[in-house]
Amino acid sequence: MKAAHITPIVKKYDMNPMEAKSYRPISNLSVLCKLLERLVSKQLVTYLKDNGSLPKLQSGFRAYHSTETAVLKEVGDILHAQDTGNIALLTLLIPTLI
């Protein structure tokens, strides 16, 4: 059921339209497909919440959970550790482009 109509669009107006790498694909899904996807997603999230299968601290793809709330939680944990005399260490993994 997930068939899309793909339209190539030029990435930037100053790029050469004769080269394939100058285009990016835009996928247009049918209304029925989008509606069905939304219904399944809503049912799945409800099921996972009701059965406690969804991690409490997961922020991605959840309503009212953003990167801002995740950062605030980490900052709060670090400040709490410092206030109680514990050592806090934050390690960031940053991908490098090679």
d(CA 59, CA 68): 9
pTM: 0.51
Confidence category of residue 61, pLDDT binned at 50, 70, 90? confident
What is the average per-residue pLDDT within 42-57? 88
Domain match, 40 and 80 both: no
The conformation of residue 8, written as its DSSP 8-state character, comes to E
Are both 4 and 47 inside the same structural domain? yes
CA dihedral over 26, 32, 38, 41, signed as positive or negative: negative
* Residue 80, pLDDT score: 96
Beta-bridged to residue 9, according to DSSP, are 24
Q: How many domains does the chain have?
A: 2
79 lies in the same domain as 62: yes
Same domain membership, residue 95 and residue 63: yes
**Judgement on whether residues 39 and 72 belong to the same structural domain of the protein:** no
When pLDDT is cut at 50, 70 and 90, the band that residue 1 belongs to is: low
Average the pLDDT over 71-88 and give the result: 93
Domain that holds residue 72: 56-98
Question: 2, 27 in Cβ contact below 8 A?
Answer: no
pLDDT tens for residues 5-46? 899 999 988 888 889 899 999 988 888 888 998 999 899 989
Question: Do 45 and 2 share a domain, yes or no?
Answer: yes
